[in-house]
Structure 1
């Protein structure tokens, strides 16, 4: 499933008054009013600088206040086990400025759970995941693409196998955002590769309540469930980019996404002969089914 990300900015950030930044209430990533934030958040972003209006604080934040805000998110059960970025209203508006879509648009509704996720809720969770605002069109395109998967539209997210979204990014945006396309694509160290899929995981957790021991029925799960995201190495690949294979034009920014259940290395160190390599591929496929 491949989608072209919307990169039109139609909204502008609101309320830039730094005097109000520390007193704005937390933006609740869960639309359930019973779990809404009951006290003000500590805003770790006191204001934009000249180079990166969306992300970097103009002064060093107080680490004690930042920790208090992070611990509050843990108390509210908004995290996936790792710390999240407290999402101020101003920060969320910076994410919304990267799409022309309506913040109140319902991205998906899980009727059997009685829950839904709006675009505004997605922006909150993308911010909490550690994304930069300019990643948000990729997050939306990945969500739209994976939700065309038959399993995802059903009860796949709650399956005992604990499926993981695999996200492949094509186009010039790979270089613009610094997405890792070669060498260690499943390893840590690259912000967009790590935070874009994490945003999807937080959306499922906070908007739909798909959490372990509640609506998530995963038995063992998949290591790196929310970190399988990479750009295709188009420049060195002998094949057409995946996005082109699915019908898009060359150099179009595109996101392809599907659910995976497991993965395994094909460890071949003894030959470069194509026929022997295919035998190794076949052996591995036979083990995994």
Structure 2
């Protein structure tokens, strides 16, 4: 049994090494004064200084963050309402049908989704730019939020709702004081997942961006096509650290909420 545990741990370490080795390789050479990813000549922060001095790139970073925050917030609101709607459908067949329709955007290839949005925006006369990118990110983020919130709703005991109604709570009171507080961890998880997906998306954004508007993922792709530059390493490093910060932030928020909920239960 101990041997199996050791082998499992070694295998897990090996998998993590494969996943993170290229990222740390990229981060390591972002400090290379030689300007290549072959020979490390010396430590420097020049690539980061050059990156932070690029006004156009800073505007692109701001655009990316605004799109991510707006799309995550709107998709979280819509996704929570969608999850509640699916959960409260009484017929199992209808519920499964709605859930399957929700999952279409998750399992569909990004190229197909991007091309579909491009055709739709063109037919509707919507100019490609901020609006088209925002609407696309909301569209593919909503199903993710639904998937994260729905299990928490299904996990909640119906006795809580019945008890609240017996005590005279209205439907709005049940929603705001019982249901939403209970599914808050799922809502946070959905928000942060939507935020991460928006920050990382390339395929869909590539199809629907235009009019001088772009995001970091598309810009990194454009920079890479022009040739290998350690600016890409520096930019990717900062983006990776920002994503890690989001993950750590979500972890502490979730832990704090769990402790608060545990104290309330004890009371």
TM range, normalised to the smaller chain?
Answer: under 0.3
- Structure with more helix by fraction: 2
Larger Rg: 2
Q: Which has the higher strand share?
A: 1
Report 1 or 2 for greater relative contact order, CA contacts < 8 Å, sequence distance ≥ 6. 2
> TM-score scaled by structure 1?
0.19
TM-score by length of 2: 0.20
